[in-house]
Structure 1
Amino acid sequence: MKITQVRLGRLSVPLRVPFKTALRTVNSVEDIVVELHTDTGAIGYGEAPPTGPITGDTAGGIMGAIRELIAPVILNQEVDDFEALTARVQKAGVHNTSAKAAVDMALWDLYGQLHHIPVHKLLGGARRTLVTDITISVNPPEEMARDALDAVARGYDCLKVKVGADPALDTARLAAVRKAVGDDVCIRIDANQAWTPRQAVRILNEMQDKGLALELVEQPVPAADLEGLAYVTRNSWVPVMADESVFSPADAMKIFQNRAADYINIKLMKCGGITNALRIAAAAEVYGVECMIGCMLEAKIAVNAAVELACARSIITRVDLDGPVLCSVDPIQGGARFDERLITVSDDPGLGIHGIDPSYFFEKK
């Protein structure tokens, strides 16, 4: 099986409700899709969202990196020369992790199809089902309480609540959510780098003093401030998860070696795809640090690739893969089944993606 063509398109899917964090507000998923065509007729699918505030990647940048840097090093290459192919992708220029992630997952898709095996079984096959949390966007406290109640009514028992846009309101937001859903629902929060280290410790300990019973806080301080992250980890009564601080296996090793966080969040768009995500998971296994598998605001192709990884590695103990259920429709044919909080991986070869509804997919060339 030889790669004969790299085709790019844009995927546009409206969200059920606006997605709001401390960094941005989004109304629709606007992703770049890559198709790797082969001489056998098999197609490998990948996807990348332009998440500039986090990865620095724009839609034009992703498409340009794939066309100008990555496509030339994989065209006319044999898929079975897999290790060399994935290495070429990672070495094709610096940064551009989202572009690399899209092509990397498409290569894994093709490799699984070539050998007639699902990617999660190629990677280890630890389980077939996952349970995800769902994100509650930053809004006034009463609106967040209503959104939380709606999520619980839909069957979710773990909420990822966005905070940080207005630190003075954060405790009130969480108190409203906790009062609305009761004590049996897990609440984890994500500050998206919004606080200083001392501010984070004060806010988090105040929240626990008020009986909010938070499971963890994700990325409370700026990504580059590892010393500040470690300070929060040492002094907060809430366990700390590193997210934007972990883009690469080397970043993860720094976190582990300095005990700068209790957990880490693996995202394919940050690390460049499944290949590097596996390396991060392997390092986490060595250090005994549990991981979350997360996503940006992505449709099902990219999230499906993360599902395949999460189903393969038991060090991934927490799941934040709600992108497809935040969308108003699912235009992706095949792949994992998302039934609200319950995700079931596909047993079809590769990633199990069969196609895309053309109503949501355009500029394909």
Structure 2
Amino acid sequence: MKITRVEVKKRRLKLKKPFVTALRAVNDIEIVMMRIELENGMFGIGTASPAAVITGETIQSMESIVKNILIPRFIGRNILQISSLSRAVQSSCIGNTSAKAGFELALFDTYSKLLGLPLYQVLGGETNVLENDLTISINETETMVEDSLAGVEKGFKTLKIKAGIDGRKDVERIKAIREAVGPSIQIRIDANQGWGKKEAVKIINGWEDACLQIELIEQPVPAGDIDSLKYVTDQVYTPIMADESVFSPDQALELIQKKAVDLLNIKLMKTGGIVRAMQIADIAEAGGIPCMMGSMMESVPGVLAAAHLACAHPNIVKIDLDAPLWLEDNDDKMSPFQGPIIKLNENPGIGYDFFTLN
């Protein structure tokens, strides 16, 4: 069944409130939407979101890659040759992982629909239910405590607290949040590369001494400094997770061989798509390293595809897919992202067909 047409469109999505990390502050997000159509009229969709400070991409560069590099390679190709198509996506150019991911998601959505199966089943999954966390954006301590309590009130059992701009304030904020939410709520910290290695050890050791029961620390030091990442991992008891340090299977292998971290965070916009994300999870499983499935600030379809993958791979044991909860247009009737439980529907593909190019 041949690919006959690919449509591309840009769209801007507003957030309910600003999202602040050590890397950036976001008030809205831009996405590139792709719609792949087959000769029988069947179609699939994919979306991609740029994050220049993480992947180096912009909305303009992504649109250009899709239109000028990717689309010409795929018109007339057989959608049933999905492995070959995935390799063609990855070999199309260097980098540009988010553009590649969005295009590959559209391929897999189309492929799954042709088979008449939801994506998680195509990928070998058994369950369609996940438990999500809730991210708490950087803000004043009082506001972060209020946001944390509001999340707990909604049923979230795990909070992911953003940190990394000011180490002293990070210490104050986490202590205040732990005191407010009590001992039964899991707290994970994401520093987004914001600390130096010795600062990270001092902060984490302080939390350990205070018995704050931190579940894990994500990317405490700059992404390219693997030696510092290993230094922190070796000096603390709290598990350390790589995020920006792992885009590719070979980077995952390096981190595991060097025993630099305890966990890996997989994101489709970093890996370039589903196949490479599965490869990273496989490598991590072989190395005894569990994985988290995360996302950038993205649209519902992109995060939904990540949820399908998380349902399919047994080594993905932690979920951080709450980006749709920040969107103004997260449809409460159709989107599975409303509270702490994600339940995928049984529709073929990613199950979000009403998201159109209009």
Q: Structure 1, residues 157-206: CA drift from partner, whole Å, max 9, x if none?
A: 10000001111211001011111111110000000001111111111111
Q: Which residue of 2 aligns with 1:354?
A: 353
Conserved 8 A contact 2:32-2:47: yes
CA contact (8 A) 2:32 2:48 kept: yes
> How far apart, CA to CA, are the structure 2 residues paired with 1:43 and 1:35?
7
Contact 1:333 1:355 in 2 (8 A): no
Matches within 5 A, 1:142-181: 142-181=142-181
**Residue type of the alignment partner of 1:154:** K
**Which residue identity is paired with 2:305?**
A
Does the Cα contact within 8 Å between 1:201 and 1:235 map onto a contact in 2? yes
Deviations 1:121-155 (A, max 9, x none): 11111311000101001111111001101111111
| AA in 2 matched with 1:276 | R
| SS, match of residue 318 in structure 1 | strand
The equivalent residue for 2:223 is 223
| 1:291-330 paired onto structure 2 within 5 Å | 291-330=291-330
Provide the residue aligned with 1:282 in structure 2. 282
Alignment-derived partner of residue 40 in structure 1: 40
Please tell me the residue identity of whatever aligns with 1:240. Answer: I
Q: Aligned residue for 2:254? A: 254
1:18 aligns with 2:18: yes
Aligned equivalents of 1:275, 1:139: Cα separation in 2: 36
Note the C-alpha offset of 1:11: 2.8
Q: Contact between 2:50 and 2:57, CA under 8 Å: does it hold in 1?
A: yes
Alignment-mate amino acid for residue 341 of structure 2: L
Alpha-carbon deviations, 1:67-93, whole Å to 9, x = none?
111111111111012211111100001
The question of whether the paired residues in 1 share the 8 Å contact of 2:79 and 2:110 is answered with yes
Shift of 1:29: 2.6
The residue type equivalent to 1:268 in the other structure is L
SS at match of 1:77: coil
Instruction: Assess if the C-alpha contact under 8 Å between 2:332 and 2:338 holds in 1.
Output: no
| Bigger Cα displacement from structure 2, 300-309 vs 25-34 | 25-34
- Code of the aligned partner of 1:338: F
CA shift at 1:332, angstroms? 10
Q: Which residue of 1 aligns with 2:115?
A: 115
* Counterpart for residue 185 of structure 1: 185
1:73 maps to: 73
1:89 matched to which residue of 2?
A: 89
Q: C-alpha distance in 2, partners of 1:153/1:16?
A: 18
Any unmatched runs of 5+ in structure 1?
none
Partner of 2:202: 202
Q: Distance in 1 between matches of 2:330 and 2:151?
A: 19
TM-score (norm 1): 0.95
Q: Which segment drifts farther, 300-309 or 324-333?
A: 324-333
Q: 2:101 maps to which residue?
A: 101
Q: Specify the SS of the correspondent of 1:9.
A: strand
2: CA distance between counterparts of 1:332 and 1:273? Answer: 27
Instruction: Provide the C-alpha distance between the structure 2 equivalents of 1:202 and 1:193, rounded to a whole number of angstroms.
Output: 15
Once residues 309 and 177 of structure 1 are traced to their aligned partners in structure 2, the CA distance between those partners, rounded to angstroms, is 31
Residues in 2 aligned to 1:355 and 1:249: alpha-carbon distance in whole angstroms: 33
Q: Give me the whole-angstrom Cα distance separating, in 2, the residues matched to 1:7 and 1:318.
A: 34
Q: Give the drift of 1:211.
A: 2.3
* TM-score normalized by the length of structure 2: 0.97
What SS does structure 2 have at the residue aligned with 1:35? strand
Query: What is the root-mean-square deviation of aligned Cα atoms in Å?
Result: 1.4
Cα distance in 1 for residues equivalent to 2:188 and 2:94: 33
State yes or no: 1:340 paired with 2:339. yes
Q: How far is the alpha carbon of 1:310 from its aligned partner?
A: 0.4
Provide the C-alpha distance between the structure 2 equivalents of 1:293 and 1:12, rounded to a whole number of angstroms.
24
Per the alignment, residue 28 of structure 1 pairs with 28
Q: Decide whether the 8 Å contact of 1:333 with 1:356 is kept in 2.
A: no
Contact 2:267 / 2:294 at 8 angstroms: preserved in 1? Answer: yes
**Could you tell me which residue of structure 2 aligns to residue 9 of structure 1?**
9
Q: Letter of the aligned partner of 1:140 in structure 2? A: E
Give the Cα separation in 1 of the matches to 2:126 and 2:177: 34
CA shift, 1:330, in A, is 1.9
State the secondary structure of the residue aligned to 1:339: coil
Query: Hey, what's the Cα distance between the residues in 2 that align with 1:340 and 1:29?
Result: 21
Unaligned runs of 5+ in 2: none
Which amino acid letter does the alignment assign opposite residue 283 of structure 1?
I
Partner Cα distance (1:12, 1:275) in 2: 27
Tell me the SS of whatever aligns to 1:76.
coil
Q: Distance in 1 between matches of 2:99 and 2:331?
A: 21
Change (3 A) 1:270 1:38: same
Cα distance in 2 between the residues matched to 1:71 and 1:231: 44
CA distance in 1, matches of 2:141, 2:352: 39
Offset of residue 333 of structure 1: 8.8
**Matches of 1:82 and 1:337 in 2, distance apart?**
27
Distance (whole Å) between structure 1 residues aligned to residue 29 and residue 195 of structure 2: 27
Secondary structure of 2:224's aligned partner: coil
Q: For the residues of structure 2 that align with 1:258 and 1:310, how far apart are their CA atoms?
A: 26
Q: Does the 8 Å contact 1:311/1:345 carry over to 2? A: no
- CA deviations on 1:304-363 (whole Å, 9 max, x unpaired) are 1101100111111000000111212225996x6223110011211111221226xxx66x
Task: Tell me which amino acid in the other structure corresponds to 2:220.
Answer: P
Amino acid in structure 2 at the alignment position of 1:250: D
